[in-house]
Amino acid sequence: MLTERVEAIRRNYVEAKPCISYQRALIWTQSHQRTEGQPIAIRRAQAFYDCCDLLPVNIFEGELIVGAIGEFRKCGILTPEYSWLWVDREMDHFDTRPQDPYVMTAEQRAFVREHIFPYWKGQSLEEAFLARVPAETAKIVVDTGIVDNDSKWRQAVGEVTPDYQDVLFAKGFGGVAAEARAKLAALGDTDADSLDKADFYRSVILAAEGIVRFANRYADEAEKLAAAEADPVRREELRAIAQNCRNVPANPPKTFHEALQFVWFTQLGGILSENPLALNPGRFDQYMAPYYEADIQAGRLNEAQAQELVDCLWLKLSEWVWTISANTADYFAGYNQFQNLTVGGKTREGLDATNAVTYLALKATEETRTHQPGLSVRVHQDCPPEFLGAVTELVSKGTGFPAIHNDAVGYQMLLNAGYEPQDAKDWNNCGCVVPHFRKTGEWTAAVNVNFGSALEYALNEGRSLLTGELMGLPERAASNFATFDEVKEAFFRQFANLCRHSITATLVAQKLHQELVPRPFLSATIEECLASGRDLSQGGAKYNVGPVITGIGLAVVANSLAAIRKLVFDDRTTTLAELCAALRADWDGFEELRQSALVAPKYGNDDDYVDTLAIEIANWYYREIHQYRDVFGNPFNTAFMGISNYIPMGRVLGATPCGRRGGDPSSEGVSPYVGSDCSTPLAAMRSAAKVNQEIHSGGTLLNLRLNHELVATKRGQANLGAMIQTFFALGAFHVQFNTISSQVLRQAQAHPEQYRDLLVRVAGYSTQFVNLSRSMQDAIIARTEHAEF
Amino acid sequence: MPSSDPSSGWVMNIQNFSVNDGDGIRTTIFLAGCAMRCPWCANPEGGSLRNPMTKLMSVDEVVSQVLRQLPFLRVSGGGVTFSGGEPTFQTGFLRALAGPLYDAGVGLAIETCGTFSYLDVADVLAKMDQIFMDFKHPDPAAHLRWTGRPLDLVLENLRHVRESGADYVVRIPVIAGVNADSETITRMLDILADACPSAKLEFLPYHKLGFAKYEALGKPTPAGFETPADADLAEYQKMAVQRGLEPISYR
């Protein structure tokens, strides 16, 4: 049961439209105007400090956890230092764009165009990337849907798990600043390395002092409001808020409430500094439990009060929006910032990790039905039955949460990436499904690669089917391929070319981030950065893991190669020439051939004929990507995630031999192509589990849809728990379930105003269904419903 | 075991991820052939061995398909349910399937309309963890008219099953137009209370999901049968409890 207060905050969250605030951008710009000539790390830290000092303080009604990034309750900020070109191009249509609209008034837009953008002309990361990326790579990488990494040059990297355990809760930001001062004092000034480190430590001091200043201003405001407050209950609450903000985040927290407020200040600092995706709360139940236990023992708090506070944090996490371009919004749909919060699993010592806070977190997601945090769970084979029961019960509520992960495979993925075993055991999820750890620098979502394009170029002489342009390597006509192996060779040749461009684009972006946008605030939350005197962007973390290249369309390509092998080479019912003509015609006039293609073996039905192709493609992809090294000399990594990438990538892909029409969505993660897993979810699981998941250290994602009736009862949930454990025993990493009937979803399409709190999984996360564009909604409805009678 | 058991038989369907046919996650093997002729049947393709919707499959084929599901069956505490048609109709084939699955440690259940000759199938039934037995009508004349088989045979087999000590559930298909009225249900429950006191009992409300199969077979779809009202079903549950019977559900 939500308290009245939380219900009121929740209602506002559901109903409020996301508004853009330019306050942060204005302060950031004016600060940079004042610091011309200074080292970039200092300039950015100073701009952050100035935001903390000057951004208007907003305490909203009934809040127990405070801190806002702008004047609106549901708010997004602008970060012109990364990109302003797309904002300039798109903001006149912010409120009418189909995916993730924002409200921005004409006055706001005029102001921003006059007072903010001009300063950043020629200065932004986006412009530097576009100027620097080689033309050949740009052709395939910039807004094409073939190889896409715009979230790494129109945005900051994000993708950080702050270290609450060893840094923030242990020292407070005051302690971090003190440590940085001591390090600074100990440095000489006669070697180049020390000069860089000095800049870094100064930037950390500024950032740490900034967030403390911000908190103190909230303490001031809370005291002011308390003095004027007539209601004695609210007055006490405001006084407590003031006290919390005086103590944290300067000092280690003393209570559960302070710890939660500290977490939110850390998020705020991250948001103000770079508008990040995937700024992860991490293993929340592990670092919050001691405060909870102490408060309960001392009688300072009861469980209901603790629940209410956690609910409040969930709402704060959900009230800000990630401001992104329409292109990025296609890939990361649903106002989602991917703040991943992971509970359960094992401790560093290998014991079961579930505790009271684990259940507070599960309950908060169930009751608030907010789209953030991205709740993930780690399930091990011997986890407490009540934990697995609570997980499956949450699944049955139909929010799409939690994302369910195999404890042992996450551990294995980190071991494969070079982590020490204890650290590997301590893993959390980053953003989507990527296994991560709080002492890490990693681009966990560096590039998306459209597998379908590789096949298209192989079959169409290197050309795009939709535009006719030569986008891949020149290739002979497909009618010349005499064997299936020749088809595969051509496919892998084109595929290698796309991989090459994804590497180039990432290296250019990595270098630019190092040059232009160091990250003092977030670096201050990472232990080894402080110890080594190096920013995250300079590889200061203990672990620097190679960037993750995500493959989109594994099922489509496996299905297509299977169809070619079956129809052309095994059954000989068609020739490659005829098949390619059918693809060029988008199947018009080739209906019979299309039907044959549609009934050829499909991945997701536990059929080795096609599943072995999926395995071959995935293994090849791993080896190909892994041979490349990033700016730190670390091997690149692979992943099969989803988010909503498969929709824009499908849009630029012509018809494919599996029977898919041109422009239709591709496939996501290791999930079957929508509607083609016509057997049971068990078969889909079997197919997915074959794909050697543990080598793809960027994570592997499987989305399944279950009819609600299947999981509505305790018995149904027990069956679901068994399915999950079996799937994990087969070696898989992740699964998540949508359990809403398509009937409800169609109703939501027709009457969005009545379904604003309806959450749905959209690959890798959950969001409000009514916030999705029509095509996204249709794609979800079409996802196979597995109902057995 | 008779070595003349067939190495193949007629199969309607092998349905994985069945969750309403016993404990856990199960694979239901629908075997063709049935001695009854119930006009409301949702699996009309089970009425004959050889028709457009059945397939001849070898024992090995069926068993290996089932064993693919073993991890899911094991972890969920499920297994295989034999259904159909009437699974005891192809007695030899049923025996040939049950043997290797039993030996592989798979949990076994059977859904039967109770028209078998007990001595012919006693050894196979002994391998079952659970036996679901249908009971369709209390009146001998009506039973014969509706199903084509005598009530006595069904009740006698129910007695055999009870005496064998097996774990069994009596299943009553509740059909408006056949037996879904207070008087008929009362008679059925009284018979059960006497013949198998405190037995487990499952009410199965009529449904029309099998209609497409009638059309596929070129047969007219059943007429005159309806799903009973929820209130009636609730009433029947209460009546069962009053007589010391134990209504259960796998829904």
The Cα A112–Cα A120 span in angstroms is: 11
Residue B2 falls inside a structural domain: no
> What is the predicted pLDDT for the residue at B3?
58
Residue B1 is assigned to a structural domain of this protein = no
- Closest by CA to B222, choosing from B209, B232, B234, is B209
Residues A380 and A422 in one domain: yes
- Tally Cβ neighbours within 10 Å of residue A643: 28
What is the number of helices (H) and of strands (E) in chain A?
Answer: 32, 17
For the whole model, what pTM was predicted? Answer: 0.89
Q: Is A787 on the interface with B (CB under 8 A)?
A: no
Number of domains in chain A: 3
Of B17, B209, B250, Cβ closest to residue A681: B17
What average pLDDT does range A402-425 have in this prediction? 96
Total structural domains in chain B?
1
Q: Within an 8 Å CB–CB cutoff, is residue B20 touching chain A? A: yes
CB–CB of A445/A159 below 8 Å? yes
CA distance A723 to chain B (A): 6
Q: Per-residue pLDDT tens for A594-627?
A: 999 999 999 999 999 999 999 999 999 999 999 9
Q: Do A606 and B71 touch (CB under 8 A)?
A: no
Same domain, yes or no: A464 and A566: yes
Q: Rounded to the nearest 5 degrees, what angle is found at the Cα of A474, between the Cα atoms of A470 and A480?
A: 120
Q: Are residues A644 and A515 in the same domain?
A: yes
Minimal CA–CA distance to A149: which of A417, A328, A330, A324?
A328
Examine the domain organization and report whether A112 and A135 are in the same domain. no
Whether residues A684 and A542 share a domain: the answer is: yes
Residues contacting residue A243 through CB under 8 Å, at least 6 positions apart = A219
Q: What is the pLDDT of residues B106-137, one digit of tens each?
A: 999 999 999 999 999 999 999 999 999 999 99
- The answer to whether residue A226 neighbours chain B at the CB level (below 8 Å) is no
CA distance A303 to A207: 35
Would the CA dihedral through A80, A86, A89, A91 be positive or negative? negative
Cβ atoms of A20 and A323 closer than 8 Å? yes
Note the pLDDT tens digit of each residue in B48-72: 999 998 999 999 999 999 999 999 9
- As a whole number, the mean pLDDT across chain A is 93
Task: Choose among B71, B198, B204: nearest CA to B133.
Answer: B204
Q: Is residue A231 part of a domain?
A: no
Strands A734-738 and A637-639, how do they pair? unpaired
Q: Would residue B84 count as lying in a domain? A: yes
Chain A segment 628-687 residues within 8 A of B by beta carbon are 679-683, 686
From the list A606, A681, A715, which residue is nearest B68 (CB)? A606
Residues of B in contact with A789 (CB under 8 A): 20, 207, 209
pLDDT for res A283 = 98
A303 within a domain of the structure (yes/no): no
- For strand A374-379 and strand A403-406, is the pairing parallel, antiparallel, or unpaired? parallel
- Averaged pLDDT for residues A233-251: 98
Measured between CA atoms, how close is B70 to chain A, in angstroms?
10
Which residue, A700, A720, A745, sits at the end of a domain? A700
Tokens 């091997």 found at = A635
Place of tokens 């052309």: A568
A669 shares a domain with A528: yes
Q: Do A682 and B17 touch (CB under 8 A)?
A: yes
Query: What are the pLDDT digits (tens) for A467-518?
Result: 999 999 999 999 999 999 999 999 999 999 999 999 999 999 999 999 999 9
pLDDT per residue over A694-744, tens digit each?
A: 888 888 999 887 767 678 888 889 989 999 999 999 999 999 998 767 777
Q: Do residues A758 and A664 both lie within one domain?
A: no
Look up residue A282 and give its amino acid: G
Tokens for B213, please give them: 């199969």
Q: Examine the domain organization and report whether A21 and A137 are in the same domain.
A: no
- Per the CB < 8 A criterion, the answer to whether A597 and A669 are in contact is no
Nearest CB neighbour to B209, from listed A718, A729, A789:
A789
Q: Which residue of B has its CA nearest to A788?
A: B18
Q: What is the DSSP letter of A786?
A: B
| B85 has a pLDDT exceeding 60 | yes
In the predicted structure, residue B6 carries a pLDDT above the cut 50: yes
Q: Closest Cα to residue B110, out of B93, B91, B88?
A: B88
Q: Do B18 and A722 touch (CB under 8 A)?
A: no
| pLDDT tens track for A169-196 | 999 999 999 999 999 999 977 778 899 9
A418 touches chain B (CB under 8 A): no
Give the DSSP letter of residue A553. -
SS3 content of chain B, % helix, strand, coil (to 5): 40, 20, 40
Q: Would you state the structure tokens that stand for residue A586, as one six-digit string?
A: 């988008």
The answer to whether residue A532 scores a pLDDT higher than 80 is yes
Q: Is the dihedral of CA A481, A486, A488, A493 positive or negative?
A: negative
pLDDT of amino acid B208 = 77
A765 pLDDT more than 50: no
Residues A664-708 pLDDT 10s: 999 999 999 987 877 778 899 999 999 988 888 888 999 887 767
Q: Does B65 touch chain A (CB under 8 A)?
A: no
Domain identity same for A667 and A583:
yes
* Sequence-ordered strand ranges (E) for A110-175: 147-148
Q: Looking at per-residue confidence, does A100 or A168 come out higher?
A: A168
pLDDT greater than 50 at residue A786: no
Based on the fold, state whether residues A477 and A605 are members of the same structural domain.
yes
Q: Hey, what's the torsion of the CAs at A479, A481, A484, A490, to 10 degrees?
A: -110
Percent of chain B predicted with pLDDT > 70: 98
The domain containing residue A718 runs over which residues? 312-409+417-428+706-789
pLDDT, residue A761, reads: 42
- Domain co-membership, A446 together with A580: yes
Query: Testing the interface with B: which of A379, A607, A788 to mutate, by most B Cβ within 10 A?
Result: A788
Distance CA A174, CA A624 (A): 46
Domain of residue A586, CATH code? 3.20.70.20
Asked if the model's pLDDT at residue A784 lies above 50, the reply is: no
Q: B105: distance to nearest CA of chain A, Å?
A: 17
In a domain, residue B103? The reply is yes
What's B102's domain CATH number?
3.20.20.70
C-alpha distance from residue B51 to each of A767, B12, B32, B214 (Å): 48, 9, 9, 12
The gap between the terminal CA atoms of chain A, to the nearest Å, is 33
Residue A170 falls inside a structural domain: no
> In terms of domains, do A84 and A133 share one?
no
Better-scored residue on pLDDT, A692 or A320: A320
Residue A740 lies inside a defined structural domain of this protein: yes
What pLDDT does A762 receive? 34
What number is the ipTM of this complex? 0.79
Domain range for residue B200? 8-247
Asked if the Cβ–Cβ distance from B76 to A718 is below 8 Å, we say: yes
- What percentage of chain A has pLDDT greater than the value 90? 82
